[in-house]
Amino acid sequence: MKEPYEVEWKDIAALIEAVRRSEAVKPAQQAKRDAFKEFGILGTRKDPPLTSLFYGIMLHLGIIDKVIEDLTGSKSPFLLDSRLRAALRVFIYLELYARNRIRYANKYESIKRTAAWLSSRAHPYAGMWFVDTVKELKNYKITPRTPDDELELRYLVPAWYAKSLINLVGEDEADKILNAFMERPKISIRVNTLKASIDEVLRKLQEEGKNPEVSTVVPTVIKFDGPYNFDKSELFRSGKIIIQEEPAALASIVLDPKPGEVVVDLAAAPGGKTEHMAELMRNSGVIHAFDVDKTRMRRLEELVKRAGIIIVKTYVKDGREAPRILGEEIADKVLVDAPCSSDGTLAKNPDLRWRLMESDVPKLAQLQYELLKAAIKLVKPGGYILYTTCSLLREENEDVVSKILEKEGGKISLIPIRGPYSDGFIPGTMRVWPHKHKTIGFFYALLQKTTRR
């Protein structure tokens, strides 16, 4: 049995800051990296155990927030100061979930210094409120009060989402999916074949002490156990590897852009698929990349520059505006990797599970439909559109495809995709299931434009 990790005040301060930043910085692992770098933890021996604690907090966030409500009497933890909220989240996790995994170097000092920091930065009484709440944790037990509470405690997802999966695939299969979301996934990278060979990357990873395995689905994808410091990785900094999951890498292969073609990516940031399509095009042709998120588009621009890509033109614009900006019937291929609930990535992004909102699903489905309408305008007759999401919800996948085929069926047809993953609920579409394929959840539908508008 492993010895409990000894947490010092500095460790706790770093966790509090990482948790606080995770509310504004997405993905949460970027907030964690930024905070850990600031506290001198990133890449040190402290990084793995503290990263494990951070992800534990993210995984249990919805339950932790209900404990905050219970102990403070607040209707929502978001009514509290962000620093107080972050400090309570950290200590509640340490006290209720990590008691056997940690020991305090000096618990009294850690609580005292946290309280003093809160009183100086948040509110004069914040430190006192914090101490009073932490004292109550000694005898606190989490007890479900409703069937929804039981679902949330069992699967660590909002009850509505668990029930959606049960309705979609049945209780036994949903149980397997939801349990798969609790497993720590391997790190997945793709080799940039414009700069490196698979063998070169494998050798380098082995020299770094990793035990890499090559994907049987996408031969340029390599997986290995974390952690991995990308900031210090020569492979990453030189653009020889791209952070990308196997199903996401397959998307570009399914669309199959050729050298010299005109391609439009309607929701491109942060750029993994854009860069991959440019590789497949051997840096010949043009990719028009659209996205509304300025920060993520900067990451796309940095990525393609690092990867040696020169054919991408970027537009910080809504993809639905692309036909007006570029003109109609100008593209050979269009990728609609649509904004979605991203619930298929819950194992990779544990904080996301508690941001899933049932009310967002119909709004996202409408946006997805409108992006597909724009894609139909953009693509030439005979050209292809690939629609993908990293969601498991039928409302964002097959239902969107059914709607576009019903409304625009005279202009497009569904081109069947035959493996390598599972059939979707519409014949010819394809789904990736986390529990079956040991990767993120994903959906694909390939469409072809058959007539002029």
β partners of residue 102: 5
The DSSP symbol for 336 reads E
- Fold classification of 5-139 is N-utilizing Substance Protein B Homolog; Chain A (1.10.940)
Q: Which of 433, 420, 386 is nearest to 277 (CA)?
A: 386
At 109-144, the pLDDT tens digits run 999 999 999 999 888 889 999 999 999 999 999 999
Between the alpha carbon of residue 196 and those of residues 100, 200, 308, the distances in Å are 44, 6, 12
- Residue 442 clears pLDDT 90, i.e. is over it: yes
Per annotation, catalytic residue among 92, 98, 375, 390: 390
Supply 278's token pair.
């440019």
The pTM score is: 0.93
Judge if the upstream peptide bond of residue 270 is cis by omega within 30 degrees of 0. yes
Same fold for the pair 5-139 and 246-449: no
Q: What is the DSSP string of 365-429?
A: HHHHHHHHHHHHHHEEEEEEEEEEES---GGGTHHHHHHHHHHHTTTEEEEP---SSEE-SSTT-
**Fold annotation for 246-449:** Rossmann fold (3.40.50)
pLDDT exceeds cutoff 70 at 188? yes
Task: Of 20-24, 28-32, 364-368, give the range with the top mean pLDDT.
Answer: 364-368
Give per-residue pLDDT as tens, 302-361.
999 999 999 999 999 999 999 999 999 999 999 999 999 999 999 999 889 999 999 999
Residue 98 DSSP SS3: coil
Q: Where are the domains of the chain?
A: 5-139, 147-180, 246-449
Shortest CA distance to 266 belongs to which of 291, 286, 248, 247? Answer: 291
pLDDT at 1 over 70: no
* Three-state secondary structure call for residue 102: strand
**Cα-to-chain-centroid distance, residue 172:** 25
Reply yes or no on whether 390 is catalytic. yes
Averaged pLDDT of the chain: 95
| CA 85 – CA 358 distance, rounded (Å) | 24
The pLDDT of residue 231: 83
Average pLDDT for 230-251: 95
SS3 content of the chain, % helix, strand, coil (to 5): 50, 15, 35
* Residue 354 DSSP symbol: G
Which pairing describes strands 213-214 and 412-415: parallel, antiparallel, or unpaired?
Answer: unpaired
